Structure 1
Amino acid sequence: MIEARYVEAAGTLAFTELAGSGPVVLCLHTAGQSGVQWRRTTAALAAAGYRVVVPDLPGHGRSEPAANGPVRDLAEYARFCLDLLDRLGLADPLVVGCSIGGKIALQIAALSGDVRGVVAMAAEAGRGRVKVSGLERELEDIAAPSRTDRTHLGTLAVVGSGVDPARAELIATMHRREDPAVSNSDLIGWGTHDVRAELGSIRCPVHLVAGEDDLWIKPDAVRAAAGELPDGRFTLLPGVGHYPMEELPDFARTLTGWLAELAEVRA
Protein backbone atom coordinates (compact mmCIF):
# COMPACT_ATOMS: atom_id res chain seq x y z
CA MET A 1 0.00 0.00 0.00
CA ILE A 2 1.24 3.49 -0.86
CA GLU A 3 0.29 6.22 1.60
CA ALA A 4 -0.13 9.83 0.44
CA ARG A 5 0.60 12.55 2.95
CA TYR A 6 1.07 16.32 3.07
CA VAL A 7 4.00 17.36 5.26
CA GLU A 8 5.06 20.87 6.28
CA ALA A 9 8.81 21.06 5.57
CA ALA A 10 11.11 24.03 5.03
CA GLY A 11 8.12 26.37 4.99
CA THR A 12 6.31 24.41 2.25
CA LEU A 13 3.34 22.05 2.40
CA ALA A 14 4.82 19.14 0.46
CA PHE A 15 3.03 16.16 -1.06
CA THR A 16 4.81 12.91 -0.24
CA GLU A 17 4.21 9.24 -0.96
CA LEU A 18 5.37 6.65 1.58
CA ALA A 19 5.40 2.87 1.27
CA GLY A 20 6.86 -0.18 2.98
CA SER A 21 9.09 -0.59 6.00
CA GLY A 22 12.80 -1.10 6.51
CA PRO A 23 15.79 1.01 5.48
CA VAL A 24 14.72 4.41 4.19
CA VAL A 25 15.02 5.17 0.46
CA LEU A 26 14.40 8.78 -0.59
CA CYS A 27 13.61 9.03 -4.34
CA LEU A 28 14.07 12.41 -6.07
CA HIS A 29 12.62 13.40 -9.42
CA THR A 30 14.05 15.38 -12.34
CA ALA A 31 13.71 19.07 -13.27
CA GLY A 32 10.13 20.30 -13.54
CA GLN A 33 8.67 16.85 -12.89
CA SER A 34 7.24 15.15 -9.77
CA GLY A 35 7.26 11.92 -7.83
CA VAL A 36 5.07 10.36 -10.54
CA GLN A 37 8.34 9.44 -12.27
CA TRP A 38 8.78 6.71 -9.64
CA ARG A 39 5.27 5.25 -10.09
CA ARG A 40 6.64 1.93 -11.41
CA THR A 41 9.37 1.73 -8.76
CA THR A 42 7.80 2.61 -5.41
CA ALA A 43 5.71 -0.50 -4.77
CA ALA A 44 8.47 -2.87 -5.93
CA LEU A 45 11.03 -1.18 -3.66
CA ALA A 46 8.63 -1.43 -0.74
CA ALA A 47 8.07 -5.13 -1.50
CA ALA A 48 11.85 -5.59 -1.46
CA GLY A 49 11.96 -4.41 2.16
CA TYR A 50 12.49 -0.65 2.04
CA ARG A 51 10.68 2.34 3.54
CA VAL A 52 10.22 4.39 0.36
CA VAL A 53 9.76 8.17 0.48
CA VAL A 54 8.84 9.96 -2.75
CA PRO A 55 8.27 13.73 -2.38
CA ASP A 56 7.17 16.27 -4.93
CA LEU A 57 9.81 18.99 -4.51
CA PRO A 58 8.47 22.48 -3.63
CA GLY A 59 6.53 23.94 -6.56
CA HIS A 60 6.26 20.56 -8.31
CA GLY A 61 3.35 18.17 -8.69
CA ARG A 62 1.00 18.49 -5.72
CA SER A 63 3.38 20.39 -3.43
CA GLU A 64 2.87 24.07 -2.69
CA PRO A 65 5.42 26.57 -4.06
CA ALA A 66 8.61 27.27 -2.15
CA ALA A 67 8.26 30.20 0.24
CA ASN A 68 10.39 32.48 -1.96
CA GLY A 69 9.15 31.30 -5.34
CA PRO A 70 10.75 28.94 -7.88
CA VAL A 71 14.06 27.54 -6.63
CA ARG A 72 17.33 28.18 -8.48
CA ASP A 73 19.74 26.84 -5.85
CA LEU A 74 19.65 23.03 -5.67
CA ALA A 75 21.12 23.17 -2.16
CA GLU A 76 17.75 24.63 -1.09
CA TYR A 77 16.06 21.44 -2.29
CA ALA A 78 18.66 19.39 -0.38
CA ARG A 79 17.85 21.25 2.83
CA PHE A 80 14.14 20.74 2.17
CA CYS A 81 14.70 16.98 1.85
CA LEU A 82 16.63 16.78 5.09
CA ASP A 83 13.91 18.73 6.91
CA LEU A 84 11.22 16.50 5.37
CA LEU A 85 12.95 13.34 6.61
CA ASP A 86 13.39 14.88 10.05
CA ARG A 87 9.69 15.77 10.28
CA LEU A 88 8.78 12.24 9.20
CA GLY A 89 11.04 10.84 11.93
CA LEU A 90 13.21 9.01 9.40
CA ALA A 91 17.00 8.73 9.59
CA ASP A 92 20.00 7.14 7.88
CA PRO A 93 18.48 7.27 4.37
CA LEU A 94 19.61 5.87 1.09
CA VAL A 95 19.12 8.69 -1.42
CA VAL A 96 18.32 8.02 -5.08
CA GLY A 97 17.96 10.84 -7.59
CA CYS A 98 17.99 11.48 -11.32
CA SER A 99 19.13 14.62 -13.17
CA ILE A 100 18.70 17.52 -10.70
CA GLY A 101 17.62 14.79 -8.27
CA GLY A 102 21.06 13.20 -8.68
CA LYS A 103 22.76 16.52 -7.97
CA ILE A 104 20.50 17.03 -4.95
CA ALA A 105 21.37 13.53 -3.70
CA LEU A 106 25.08 14.38 -3.81
CA GLN A 107 24.40 17.67 -2.04
CA ILE A 108 22.44 15.91 0.71
CA ALA A 109 25.37 13.56 1.31
CA ALA A 110 27.74 16.54 1.45
CA LEU A 111 25.52 18.37 3.95
CA SER A 112 24.72 15.45 6.24
CA GLY A 113 26.67 12.58 7.75
CA ASP A 114 23.33 10.83 8.31
CA VAL A 115 23.22 9.20 4.86
CA ARG A 116 23.54 5.46 4.29
CA GLY A 117 24.39 5.69 0.60
CA VAL A 118 23.62 7.52 -2.66
CA VAL A 119 22.62 6.49 -6.18
CA ALA A 120 22.97 9.58 -8.40
CA MET A 121 21.82 9.06 -11.98
CA ALA A 122 22.22 11.35 -15.01
CA ALA A 123 24.07 14.01 -13.05
CA GLU A 124 27.56 15.44 -13.20
CA ALA A 125 29.10 16.83 -10.02
CA GLY A 126 29.95 20.09 -11.81
CA ARG A 127 27.73 22.65 -13.50
CA GLY A 128 25.17 21.28 -15.93
CA ARG A 129 25.48 21.90 -19.64
CA VAL A 130 22.81 24.52 -20.28
CA LYS A 131 22.85 28.16 -21.38
CA VAL A 132 21.75 29.94 -18.22
CA SER A 133 21.32 33.32 -19.95
CA GLY A 134 18.85 31.76 -22.41
CA LEU A 135 16.86 30.24 -19.56
CA GLU A 136 16.80 33.63 -17.85
CA ARG A 137 15.39 35.26 -21.00
CA GLU A 138 12.68 32.61 -21.30
CA LEU A 139 11.48 33.45 -17.79
CA GLU A 140 10.58 36.94 -19.05
CA ASP A 141 8.10 35.47 -21.57
CA ILE A 142 7.40 32.02 -20.26
CA ALA A 143 3.92 31.73 -21.80
CA ALA A 144 5.21 30.88 -25.29
CA PRO A 145 2.61 28.47 -26.75
CA SER A 146 5.30 26.14 -28.12
CA ARG A 147 6.75 25.40 -24.68
CA THR A 148 4.90 22.11 -24.12
CA ASP A 149 5.82 20.91 -27.59
CA ARG A 150 9.45 21.77 -26.94
CA THR A 151 9.32 19.82 -23.68
CA HIS A 152 7.77 16.84 -25.49
CA LEU A 153 10.32 16.83 -28.33
CA GLY A 154 13.23 17.60 -26.00
CA THR A 155 12.33 14.63 -23.82
CA LEU A 156 12.18 12.32 -26.82
CA ALA A 157 15.65 13.57 -27.82
CA VAL A 158 17.26 12.42 -24.57
CA VAL A 159 15.50 9.06 -24.18
CA GLY A 160 17.86 6.18 -24.99
CA SER A 161 17.97 4.36 -28.31
CA GLY A 162 17.21 1.07 -26.57
CA VAL A 163 13.79 2.25 -25.35
CA ASP A 164 10.65 0.93 -27.04
CA PRO A 165 9.07 3.78 -29.10
CA ALA A 166 5.73 3.48 -27.34
CA ARG A 167 7.41 3.73 -23.94
CA ALA A 168 9.47 6.74 -25.13
CA GLU A 169 6.27 8.45 -26.28
CA LEU A 170 4.63 7.82 -22.88
CA ILE A 171 7.63 9.33 -21.07
CA ALA A 172 7.54 12.43 -23.28
CA THR A 173 3.77 12.82 -22.89
CA MET A 174 4.01 12.61 -19.09
CA HIS A 175 6.73 15.25 -19.11
CA ARG A 176 4.44 17.80 -20.80
CA ARG A 177 2.89 18.48 -17.37
CA GLU A 178 5.74 20.80 -16.30
CA ASP A 179 5.25 24.34 -14.97
CA PRO A 180 7.65 26.29 -17.22
CA ALA A 181 8.61 28.82 -14.53
CA VAL A 182 9.53 26.01 -12.15
CA SER A 183 11.32 23.83 -14.70
CA ASN A 184 13.37 26.76 -16.07
CA SER A 185 14.40 27.68 -12.53
CA ASP A 186 15.34 24.04 -11.92
CA LEU A 187 17.50 24.09 -15.06
CA ILE A 188 19.19 27.29 -13.92
CA GLY A 189 20.01 25.36 -10.74
CA TRP A 190 21.28 22.49 -12.90
CA GLY A 191 23.51 24.88 -14.81
CA THR A 192 24.98 26.62 -11.76
CA HIS A 193 25.21 23.92 -9.08
CA ASP A 194 28.71 22.56 -8.48
CA VAL A 195 29.50 20.06 -5.71
CA ARG A 196 32.95 19.01 -6.98
CA ALA A 197 34.78 20.72 -4.12
CA GLU A 198 32.67 18.76 -1.64
CA LEU A 199 33.10 15.28 -3.11
CA GLY A 200 36.00 14.47 -0.79
CA SER A 201 33.81 15.17 2.27
CA ILE A 202 31.16 12.59 1.31
CA ARG A 203 31.78 9.55 3.51
CA CYS A 204 28.96 7.27 2.47
CA PRO A 205 29.26 4.95 -0.56
CA VAL A 206 28.08 6.59 -3.79
CA HIS A 207 27.04 4.95 -7.06
CA LEU A 208 27.08 7.29 -10.07
CA VAL A 209 25.07 6.13 -13.09
CA ALA A 210 25.09 7.50 -16.65
CA GLY A 211 23.10 6.56 -19.73
CA GLU A 212 25.21 6.01 -22.82
CA ASP A 213 22.67 7.99 -24.94
CA ASP A 214 22.22 10.87 -22.47
CA LEU A 215 22.75 14.18 -24.33
CA TRP A 216 22.57 16.23 -21.12
CA ILE A 217 25.77 14.87 -19.57
CA LYS A 218 29.20 13.54 -20.45
CA PRO A 219 29.64 10.02 -19.04
CA ASP A 220 33.41 10.51 -18.78
CA ALA A 221 32.83 13.46 -16.42
CA VAL A 222 30.55 11.29 -14.28
CA ARG A 223 33.14 8.48 -14.27
CA ALA A 224 35.83 10.99 -13.20
CA ALA A 225 33.65 12.23 -10.32
CA ALA A 226 33.28 8.64 -9.07
CA GLY A 227 37.06 8.47 -8.89
CA GLU A 228 37.18 11.60 -6.73
CA LEU A 229 34.80 10.22 -4.13
CA PRO A 230 36.24 8.43 -1.08
CA ASP A 231 33.95 5.48 -1.89
CA GLY A 232 32.60 5.87 -5.42
CA ARG A 233 31.59 3.53 -8.22
CA PHE A 234 30.31 4.10 -11.75
CA THR A 235 27.91 2.33 -14.12
CA LEU A 236 27.30 3.13 -17.80
CA LEU A 237 23.91 1.97 -19.11
CA PRO A 238 23.95 1.12 -22.84
CA GLY A 239 20.92 2.21 -24.85
CA VAL A 240 19.65 4.39 -21.99
CA GLY A 241 19.25 8.17 -21.98
CA HIS A 242 18.48 10.68 -19.23
CA TYR A 243 15.66 8.88 -17.37
CA PRO A 244 16.72 5.35 -16.29
CA MET A 245 13.82 4.87 -13.86
CA GLU A 246 11.34 5.53 -16.68
CA GLU A 247 13.26 3.95 -19.55
CA LEU A 248 14.28 0.59 -18.07
CA PRO A 249 11.32 -1.87 -17.96
CA ASP A 250 12.50 -3.55 -14.74
CA PHE A 251 14.29 -0.63 -13.16
CA ALA A 252 13.20 -1.51 -9.61
CA ARG A 253 15.13 -4.80 -9.75
CA THR A 254 18.23 -2.98 -11.01
CA LEU A 255 17.94 -0.36 -8.27
CA THR A 256 17.48 -2.91 -5.48
CA GLY A 257 20.71 -4.55 -6.66
CA TRP A 258 22.55 -1.24 -6.47
CA LEU A 259 21.10 -0.50 -3.03
CA ALA A 260 22.10 -3.94 -1.75
CA GLU A 261 25.67 -3.32 -2.94
CA LEU A 262 25.75 0.00 -1.09
CA ALA A 263 24.48 -1.70 2.07
CA GLU A 264 27.22 -4.33 1.82
CA VAL A 265 29.86 -1.64 1.44
CA ARG A 266 28.45 0.29 4.40
CA ALA A 267 28.42 -2.86 6.53
Structure 2
Amino acid sequence: MHVTTRGGIFTRAFGTPPRDGEPTVVLVHGLGLSGRYFVPLARRLAAQGARVLVPDLPGNARSRGAAGRAPTVAEHARALAHWHRQHSLGPVLLVANSVGCQVAAALAARHPDMVSRLVLVGPALDPAVPAWRQCALLIKDAPREPLRLFGIAVSDYLVTGLPRCAAEYRHALRDAAWSFEAHLEQVHAPTLVVRGEGDPLASPSWTRRVASLVGDGRTAEIPGAAHAAHYSAPDAMATLIQKFTADGPGGPA
Protein backbone atom coordinates (compact mmCIF):
# COMPACT_ATOMS: atom_id res chain seq x y z
CA MET A 1 0.00 0.00 0.00
CA HIS A 2 1.03 3.57 -0.62
CA VAL A 3 -0.81 6.82 0.04
CA THR A 4 -1.35 10.08 -1.80
CA THR A 5 -3.13 13.35 -1.03
CA ARG A 6 -4.55 15.50 -3.83
CA GLY A 7 -6.86 18.41 -3.24
CA GLY A 8 -6.91 17.48 0.43
CA ILE A 9 -8.31 13.99 -0.26
CA PHE A 10 -6.25 11.25 1.36
CA THR A 11 -6.10 8.08 -0.77
CA ARG A 12 -4.76 4.59 -0.13
CA ALA A 13 -3.55 2.75 -3.25
CA PHE A 14 -3.06 -1.00 -3.69
CA GLY A 15 -1.85 -3.13 -6.59
CA THR A 16 -0.30 -2.18 -9.91
CA PRO A 17 -1.68 -0.09 -12.78
CA PRO A 18 -4.47 -2.03 -14.54
CA ARG A 19 -3.89 -3.79 -17.83
CA ASP A 20 -5.64 -2.45 -20.92
CA GLY A 21 -9.39 -2.89 -20.66
CA GLU A 22 -9.39 -3.54 -16.92
CA PRO A 23 -10.92 -0.88 -14.66
CA THR A 24 -9.43 0.56 -11.52
CA VAL A 25 -11.46 -0.40 -8.43
CA VAL A 26 -12.57 2.50 -6.18
CA LEU A 27 -13.89 1.76 -2.67
CA VAL A 28 -16.21 4.32 -1.03
CA HIS A 29 -16.73 4.26 2.75
CA GLY A 30 -19.82 5.05 4.81
CA LEU A 31 -20.87 7.99 6.95
CA GLY A 32 -18.20 9.56 9.16
CA LEU A 33 -15.72 6.77 8.51
CA SER A 34 -12.46 6.41 6.60
CA GLY A 35 -11.30 3.92 4.02
CA ARG A 36 -9.48 1.89 6.70
CA TYR A 37 -12.26 -0.68 7.00
CA PHE A 38 -11.93 -1.37 3.27
CA VAL A 39 -8.25 -2.31 3.55
CA PRO A 40 -8.82 -6.12 3.94
CA LEU A 41 -10.95 -6.17 0.77
CA ALA A 42 -8.54 -3.87 -1.08
CA ARG A 43 -5.64 -6.22 -0.34
CA ARG A 44 -7.57 -9.23 -1.62
CA LEU A 45 -8.65 -7.47 -4.81
CA ALA A 46 -5.06 -6.32 -5.39
CA ALA A 47 -3.89 -9.92 -4.93
CA GLN A 48 -6.26 -10.84 -7.77
CA GLY A 49 -4.45 -8.31 -9.97
CA ALA A 50 -6.65 -5.24 -9.54
CA ARG A 51 -5.53 -1.66 -9.01
CA VAL A 52 -7.50 -0.40 -5.98
CA LEU A 53 -7.92 3.18 -4.72
CA VAL A 54 -9.53 3.93 -1.35
CA PRO A 55 -10.17 7.64 -0.69
CA ASP A 56 -11.30 9.22 2.56
CA LEU A 57 -14.19 11.42 1.44
CA PRO A 58 -13.75 15.17 2.09
CA GLY A 59 -14.63 16.19 5.63
CA ASN A 60 -14.02 12.66 6.91
CA ALA A 61 -11.08 11.20 8.85
CA ARG A 62 -7.74 12.01 7.14
CA SER A 63 -9.52 14.17 4.55
CA ARG A 64 -11.27 16.20 7.26
CA GLY A 65 -9.44 19.39 6.26
CA ALA A 66 -10.70 19.14 2.66
CA ALA A 67 -14.10 20.52 3.73
CA GLY A 68 -14.93 23.32 6.11
CA ARG A 69 -18.21 21.66 7.10
CA ALA A 70 -20.00 18.34 6.66
CA PRO A 71 -20.61 17.88 2.92
CA THR A 72 -23.96 16.75 1.54
CA VAL A 73 -24.26 13.54 -0.47
CA ALA A 74 -24.33 15.60 -3.67
CA GLU A 75 -21.18 17.47 -2.60
CA HIS A 76 -19.42 14.20 -1.86
CA ALA A 77 -20.33 12.95 -5.34
CA ARG A 78 -19.02 16.15 -6.95
CA ALA A 79 -15.79 15.90 -4.95
CA LEU A 80 -15.39 12.26 -5.95
CA ALA A 81 -15.89 13.19 -9.62
CA HIS A 82 -13.20 15.88 -9.30
CA TRP A 83 -10.89 13.39 -7.57
CA HIS A 84 -11.57 10.93 -10.42
CA ARG A 85 -10.40 13.53 -12.97
CA GLN A 86 -7.32 14.42 -10.90
CA HIS A 87 -6.25 10.78 -10.99
CA SER A 88 -6.98 10.52 -14.75
CA LEU A 89 -9.09 7.41 -14.25
CA GLY A 90 -11.18 5.80 -16.94
CA PRO A 91 -14.49 4.10 -16.10
CA VAL A 92 -14.03 2.47 -12.70
CA LEU A 93 -15.54 -0.42 -10.79
CA LEU A 94 -17.13 1.47 -7.89
CA VAL A 95 -17.71 -0.42 -4.62
CA ALA A 96 -19.52 1.36 -1.78
CA ASN A 97 -20.88 0.55 1.67
CA SER A 98 -23.82 1.93 3.65
CA VAL A 99 -24.36 5.68 3.08
CA GLY A 100 -21.43 5.52 0.67
CA CYS A 101 -23.92 3.76 -1.64
CA GLN A 102 -25.86 7.01 -1.88
CA VAL A 103 -22.67 8.82 -2.93
CA ALA A 104 -21.89 6.10 -5.47
CA ALA A 105 -25.41 6.22 -6.92
CA ALA A 106 -25.22 10.00 -7.28
CA LEU A 107 -21.85 9.75 -9.04
CA ALA A 108 -22.98 6.96 -11.38
CA ALA A 109 -26.20 8.82 -12.25
CA ARG A 110 -24.52 12.17 -12.93
CA HIS A 111 -21.30 10.86 -14.49
CA PRO A 112 -22.11 7.55 -16.23
CA ASP A 113 -18.84 7.75 -18.17
CA MET A 114 -16.92 7.41 -14.89
CA VAL A 115 -18.47 4.13 -13.72
CA SER A 116 -18.28 0.81 -15.59
CA ARG A 117 -19.83 -1.32 -12.83
CA LEU A 118 -21.27 -0.70 -9.40
CA VAL A 119 -21.26 -2.81 -6.23
CA LEU A 120 -23.47 -1.60 -3.36
CA VAL A 121 -22.78 -3.32 -0.04
CA GLY A 122 -25.46 -2.90 2.64
CA PRO A 123 -27.07 0.12 0.91
CA ALA A 124 -28.46 2.72 3.26
CA LEU A 125 -30.69 4.46 3.99
CA ASP A 126 -34.09 2.90 3.29
CA PRO A 127 -36.44 5.93 3.03
CA ALA A 128 -39.34 3.86 4.36
CA VAL A 129 -37.58 3.40 7.72
CA PRO A 130 -37.84 6.34 10.19
CA ALA A 131 -34.62 8.04 11.32
CA TRP A 132 -34.94 6.82 14.92
CA ARG A 133 -35.39 3.28 13.67
CA GLN A 134 -32.28 3.56 11.47
CA CYS A 135 -30.26 4.53 14.56
CA ALA A 136 -31.70 1.59 16.50
CA LEU A 137 -30.79 -0.79 13.68
CA LEU A 138 -27.23 0.56 13.59
CA ILE A 139 -26.92 -0.13 17.32
CA LYS A 140 -28.37 -3.60 16.73
CA ASP A 141 -25.72 -4.23 14.08
CA ALA A 142 -22.74 -3.28 16.28
CA PRO A 143 -22.41 -6.59 18.22
CA ARG A 144 -22.71 -8.53 14.94
CA GLU A 145 -19.53 -6.98 13.56
CA PRO A 146 -15.93 -7.95 14.40
CA LEU A 147 -14.67 -6.23 17.56
CA ARG A 148 -11.77 -4.70 15.64
CA LEU A 149 -14.20 -2.90 13.32
CA PHE A 150 -15.80 -1.27 16.37
CA GLY A 151 -12.41 0.18 17.29
CA ILE A 152 -11.82 1.49 13.77
CA ALA A 153 -15.28 3.07 13.62
CA VAL A 154 -15.00 4.80 17.00
CA SER A 155 -11.56 6.15 16.11
CA ASP A 156 -12.78 7.43 12.73
CA TYR A 157 -15.88 9.05 14.21
CA LEU A 158 -13.75 10.90 16.75
CA VAL A 159 -11.33 12.14 14.06
CA THR A 160 -14.18 13.21 11.78
CA GLY A 161 -15.96 14.78 14.75
CA LEU A 162 -19.33 13.81 16.19
CA PRO A 163 -21.02 17.11 15.15
CA ARG A 164 -19.96 16.48 11.54
CA CYS A 165 -21.15 12.87 11.73
CA ALA A 166 -24.54 14.09 12.95
CA ALA A 167 -24.71 16.68 10.16
CA GLU A 168 -23.77 14.06 7.54
CA TYR A 169 -26.51 11.80 8.90
CA ARG A 170 -29.08 14.56 8.43
CA HIS A 171 -27.80 15.13 4.88
CA ALA A 172 -28.01 11.39 4.18
CA LEU A 173 -31.59 11.16 5.48
CA ARG A 174 -32.59 14.05 3.21
CA ASP A 175 -30.89 12.42 0.24
CA ALA A 176 -32.59 9.09 0.99
CA ALA A 177 -35.99 10.78 1.11
CA TRP A 178 -35.61 12.88 -2.04
CA SER A 179 -32.79 11.72 -4.30
CA PHE A 180 -31.39 8.21 -3.72
CA GLU A 181 -34.07 6.22 -5.54
CA ALA A 182 -34.16 8.76 -8.38
CA HIS A 183 -30.39 8.41 -8.78
CA LEU A 184 -30.68 4.61 -8.80
CA GLU A 185 -33.21 4.84 -11.65
CA GLN A 186 -30.62 6.73 -13.69
CA VAL A 187 -27.90 4.12 -13.17
CA HIS A 188 -27.41 1.88 -16.22
CA ALA A 189 -24.05 0.36 -15.28
CA PRO A 190 -24.34 -3.31 -14.26
CA THR A 191 -24.95 -3.26 -10.51
CA LEU A 192 -24.52 -5.89 -7.79
CA VAL A 193 -26.33 -5.23 -4.51
CA VAL A 194 -24.84 -7.24 -1.63
CA ARG A 195 -26.06 -7.70 1.92
CA GLY A 196 -24.67 -9.64 4.82
CA GLU A 197 -27.12 -12.31 5.95
CA GLY A 198 -27.33 -10.67 9.38
CA ASP A 199 -27.49 -7.03 8.23
CA PRO A 200 -30.38 -5.33 10.08
CA LEU A 201 -30.12 -2.08 8.08
CA ALA A 202 -30.26 -3.42 4.52
CA SER A 203 -33.20 -5.80 4.65
CA PRO A 204 -33.75 -8.41 1.94
CA SER A 205 -36.76 -6.50 0.60
CA TRP A 206 -34.84 -3.21 0.47
CA THR A 207 -31.86 -4.89 -1.18
CA ARG A 208 -34.14 -6.32 -3.86
CA ARG A 209 -35.77 -2.93 -4.39
CA VAL A 210 -32.39 -1.22 -4.86
CA ALA A 211 -31.43 -3.83 -7.47
CA SER A 212 -34.79 -3.45 -9.23
CA LEU A 213 -34.42 0.31 -9.61
CA VAL A 214 -31.17 0.27 -11.60
CA GLY A 215 -31.08 -0.62 -15.28
CA ASP A 216 -29.15 -3.89 -14.79
CA GLY A 217 -29.29 -5.00 -11.16
CA ARG A 218 -28.77 -8.27 -9.33
CA THR A 219 -28.43 -9.27 -5.67
CA ALA A 220 -26.22 -11.49 -3.53
CA GLU A 221 -26.05 -12.39 0.15
CA ILE A 222 -23.02 -13.35 2.25
CA PRO A 223 -23.75 -15.87 5.04
CA GLY A 224 -22.48 -15.01 8.49
CA ALA A 225 -21.82 -11.34 7.70
CA ALA A 226 -23.64 -8.20 8.81
CA HIS A 227 -23.71 -4.58 7.59
CA ALA A 228 -19.98 -4.30 6.85
CA ALA A 229 -19.80 -7.59 4.94
CA HIS A 230 -16.74 -6.38 3.03
CA TYR A 231 -14.82 -6.19 6.33
CA SER A 232 -16.00 -9.35 8.10
CA ALA A 233 -15.96 -11.51 4.95
CA PRO A 234 -13.41 -9.96 2.57
CA ASP A 235 -12.61 -13.25 0.82
CA ALA A 236 -16.26 -13.93 0.04
CA MET A 237 -16.75 -10.35 -1.10
CA ALA A 238 -13.69 -10.43 -3.34
CA THR A 239 -14.94 -13.67 -4.91
CA LEU A 240 -18.37 -12.12 -5.55
CA ILE A 241 -16.79 -9.06 -7.16
CA GLN A 242 -14.51 -11.18 -9.32
CA LYS A 243 -17.46 -13.26 -10.54
CA PHE A 244 -19.56 -10.13 -11.10
CA THR A 245 -16.90 -8.49 -13.24
CA ALA A 246 -16.57 -11.68 -15.29
CA ASP A 247 -20.34 -11.82 -16.00
CA GLY A 248 -21.76 -9.92 -18.94
CA PRO A 249 -24.68 -7.46 -18.67
CA GLY A 250 -27.84 -9.13 -17.50
CA GLY A 251 -25.84 -11.92 -15.85
CA PRO A 252 -27.03 -14.15 -13.03
CA ALA A 253 -29.28 -12.51 -10.46
TM-score (norm 1): 0.79
Q: Distance in 2 between matches of 1:97 and 1:156?
A: 21
Local SS of the residue matching 1:116: strand
1:248 Cα shift? 1.1
Percent identity over paired residues: 25
Q: 1:169, CA displacement in angstroms?
A: 1.4
Higher mean C-alpha deviation, range 92-101 or range 20-29: 20-29
CA distance in 1, matches of 2:202, 2:209: 13
> Do residues 3 (structure 1) and 9 (structure 2) align?
no
Q: Secondary structure at the match of 1:208?
A: strand
The amino acid of 2:147's aligned partner reads E
- SS where residue 13 of structure 2 aligns? strand
The answer (yes or no) to whether the contact 2:121–2:230 under 8 Å persists in 1 is no
2:162 match: 180
Q: Is the 8 A contact 2:96 2:104 kept in 1?
A: yes
Name stretches of at least 5 consecutive residues in structure 1 with no aligned partner: 136-150
Structure 1 residue 48, shift from structure 2 partner: 1.5
How far has the Cα of 1:126 moved from its partner?
A: 5.0
One-letter amino acid matched to 2:249: V
Q: Give me the whole-angstrom Cα distance separating, in 2, the residues matched to 1:218 and 1:190.
A: 18
Structure 1 residue 14 corresponds to structure 2 residue 13 = no
User: Is 1:203–2:188 an aligned residue pair?
Assistant: yes
CA RMSD, 1 decimal = 2.8
Distance 2:243 2:131 in 1: 33
Q: What SS does the corresponding residue of 2:32 show, helix, strand or coil? A: coil
1:5 to partner: Cα distance: 0.4
Distance 1:78 1:128, change over 3 A: farther
C-alpha distance in structure 2 between counterparts of 1:210 and 1:175, whole Å = 19
Aligned residues: 238
Residues 124 and 221 of structure 1 are in contact (CA less than 8 Å); yes or no, is this contact kept in structure 2?
no
Q: Is the 8 A contact 1:24 1:53 kept in 2?
A: yes
Aligned residue identity for 1:35 = G
The structural deviation recorded for 1:81 is: 0.9
Aligned to 1:265: 249
Partners of 2:245 and 2:143 in 1: how far apart?
A: 26
What corresponds to 1:223 in structure 2? 208
Is there any run of 5+ residues in structure 2 with no aligned partner, and where?
none
**Using a 3 Å threshold, how does the CA distance of structure 1 residues 154 and 202 change in structure 2: closer, same or farther?**
closer
CA contact 1:18–1:51 (8 Å) conserved in 2: yes
Residue 9 of structure 2 contacts residue 58 of structure 2 at CA under 8 Å; is this kept in 1? yes
Aligned equivalents of 2:235, 2:53: Cα separation in 1: 19
1:161-215 Cα distance to aligned partner (Å, 9 max, x none): 5x6xxxx211112211112122212222331213212333212101111223222
Q: Structure 1 pair 216/126, CA: closer, same or farther in 2 (3 Å)?
A: closer
Match of 1:77 in 2: 76
- Contact 1:155–1:175 (8 Å) recurs in 2: no
1:238 is aligned to: 223
Match of 2:112 in 1: 113
AA aligned opposite 2:78: R
Distance in 2 (CA, whole Å) between partners of 1:128 and 1:87 is 37
The Cα shift of 1:89 comes to 0.8
Aligned counterpart, 1:50? 50
Q: CA deviation at 1:14?
A: 0.9
Q: Secondary structure at the match of 2:112?
A: coil
Cα distance in 2 between the residues matched to 1:169 and 1:128: 30
**Secondary structure of the structure 1 residue equivalent to 2:106:** helix
Q: Is the 8 A contact 1:128 1:217 kept in 2?
A: no
Give the structure 1 partner of residue 34 of structure 2: 34
- TM-superposed CA distance for 1:128, in Å, is 7.5
Deviation, structure 1 residue 238: 3.2
Greater Rg over alpha carbons, structure: 1
